[in-house]
Structure 1
């Protein structure tokens, strides 16, 4: 028996977006409770970028992470204040400023990753192996450029 859209609850993109937002918000709330360091996910993303790519210009970090330059400036201020990152000047052009990660910042990324692994296990253990594989395939399919 073929089921048409008329016999099913009307699906809207807004319901999907809302459901995805609820899952994401729940993840962020749970992570913030677990990782009690007065740092948000965006701070950790900046530190992780610096750990992988080394010193970087803030404007480049903002572009890569999809943040506005003022947002990156705000994040960088807190990271520098907490001694997780440092500002560095270019030796050949003192006007160019880079952001670099400190040893303390690298340790923080490591701890955040461990907490993230624990949260992922906690959240996804309610799904079967098949459901996890399905979810991964769906997200991979939706994240491919058109």
Structure 2
């Protein structure tokens, strides 16, 4: 058997992710990718947040979060709230429409997940998850 190199591993991971993103995008009724969905989920789970906080949590630059935020505001999925004490401080808050969009995204994500991992036995799925968590832990220790 040929020795596997890092580029093959990265390519396989990217290929699988791209297939899932394409499938998700075709089913989702909003013109959004995965990062805006992560922002909506963060706002739902933690309440109104500053863009700088979202950038840190989601792992994007402040500029990228600004673009995502502008798109979400334009689609009325989030609203900007200015703080009374300091009008310069703006927080993003998910709207009811944003909650509906997030719910739709989660439903589609679950369908894709079920279809994808249907090919694994329960033992294989547990081993896959164990290996994923092992890689994440190792990667975090390397920082």
**Map of 1:1-146 to 2, 5 A cutoff?**
8-144=1-137, 145-146=140-141
Count of aligned pairs: 139
**How large is the Cα RMSD of the aligned pairs?**
1.0
Task: Report the Cα distance in structure 2 between the residues aligned to 1:134 and 1:26, rounded to whole angstroms.
Answer: 22
Give 5+ residue unaligned stretches, structure 1. Answer: 1-7
Q: Normalised by the size of structure 1, how large is the TM-score?
A: 0.91
For 2:76, what is the secondary structure of its paired residue?
A: coil
- Find the aligned partners of 1:128 and 1:22 in 2 and give their Cα distance: 22
List gaps (5 residues or longer) in structure 2. Answer: none
8 A Cα contact 2:48 2:94, kept in partner: yes
SS in 2 for 1:10: coil
User: Secondary structure at the residue paired with 2:91?
Assistant: strand
Larger radius of gyration: 1
Give the 3-state SS of the residue equivalent to 1:74 in structure 2.
helix
TM-score using structure 2 length: 0.93
Deviation digits for residues 58-85 of structure 1, max 9, x if unmatched? 0110111100111111111111111100
Which segments of structure 1 move beyond 4 Å, counting only runs of 4 or more?
A: none
Question: 1:3 — aligned with what?
Answer: none
* 1:10 CA displacement: 2.1
